[in-house]
Amino acid sequence: MQLGTLVGIVGLLAVAGQVFFANRDSFLTASQMQARGFPKGLPLLYHAGIWGDLVIFTPLLAIIVSLYSDRWSADDIFTSVGIGVVSLCVMGFIWVKAAEHGLPEAHTYGGSMTTAGLIHGMYFAAAVAIIVLFFFHSGITQKAAVIVAVILAVHLIYGTHIVLGLFAPSWYPDRPHKQILTWVIVLVCWSALVWRCLAL
Q: Give the alpha-carbon dihedral of 165, 60, 104, 13, to 10 degrees.
A: 140
Q: Model confidence over 32-72: pLDDT tens digits?
A: 999 999 999 999 999 999 999 999 999 999 999 999 999 99
pLDDT in the model for residue 200: 93
Which DSSP string corresponds to 131-145? HHHHHHHS---HHHH
Length of the chain: 200
For residue 169, what pLDDT band results from cuts at 50, 70 and 90?
A: very high
* Beta carbons within 10 angstroms of residue 31's beta carbon: 11
Q: How many domains does the chain have?
A: 1
pTM above 0.85, yes or no: yes
Q: State how far the Cα of 54 lies from the Cα of 10, in Å rounded to an integer.
A: 11
Q: State how far the Cα of 156 lies from the Cα of 52, in Å rounded to an integer.
A: 10
For residue 18, what pLDDT band results from cuts at 50, 70 and 90?
A: very high
Q: Quote the domain boundaries for residue 177.
A: 3-199
